[in-house]
């Protein structure tokens, strides 16, 4: 399995708007992308401007399809044009455990 982890620091004044939009985006991805098997959205308890998104796909080609999807492009455009991001860190990982299908 292919895992994408995104850690976003959102400017304080945009936290509520970002939260609403990322939750809608995650729901859309899980509903519309057959190879997006997980999309978790997490918010830091100690710093409400920090969000961690944990996304799981069958393979890197499925992640690329996710990036190319119109709803993902729309999300990224909104995120960038609205100036929500203060910082972004991305990690692309290979899932080791549990085994796929377990």
- DSSP 8-state assignment for residue 98: S
For the whole model, what pTM was predicted? 0.92
Confidence of residue 98 (pLDDT cuts 50, 70, 90): confident
pLDDT greater than 90 at residue 99 = no
Q: How far apart are CA 13 and CA 95, in angstroms?
A: 35
C-alpha distances in Å from residue 36, one per residue of 14, 78, 81, 85 = 27, 21, 26, 24
Q: Which of 20, 6, 17 is nearest to 50 (CA)?
A: 6
Q: For 33-37, 85-89, 97-101, which range has the lowest pLDDT when averaged over its residues?
A: 97-101
Averaged confidence pLDDT in the chain: 96
The pLDDT score that the predictor gives to residue 19 is 98
- Token pair 């044009």 is found at 81
Confidence of residue 102 (pLDDT cuts 50, 70, 90): low
| Entry field: residues in the chain | 102
Domain layout of the chain by residue ranges = 1-47
């Amino acid at each position: 399995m292919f895992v994408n982890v995104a850690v976003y620091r959102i400017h304080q004044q945009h936290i509520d708007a970002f939260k609403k939009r990322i939750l809608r985006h995650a729901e859309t991805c899980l509903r519309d992308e057959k190879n997006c098997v997980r999309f978790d959205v997490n918010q830091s308890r100690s710093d409400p401007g920090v969000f961690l998104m944990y996304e799981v796909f069958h393979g890197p080609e499925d992640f690329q399809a996710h990036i190319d999807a119109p709803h993902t492009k729309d999300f990224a455009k909104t995120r960038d044009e609205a100036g929500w991001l203060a910082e972004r860190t991305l990690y692309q990982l290979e899932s080791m455990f549990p085994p796929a299908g377990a």
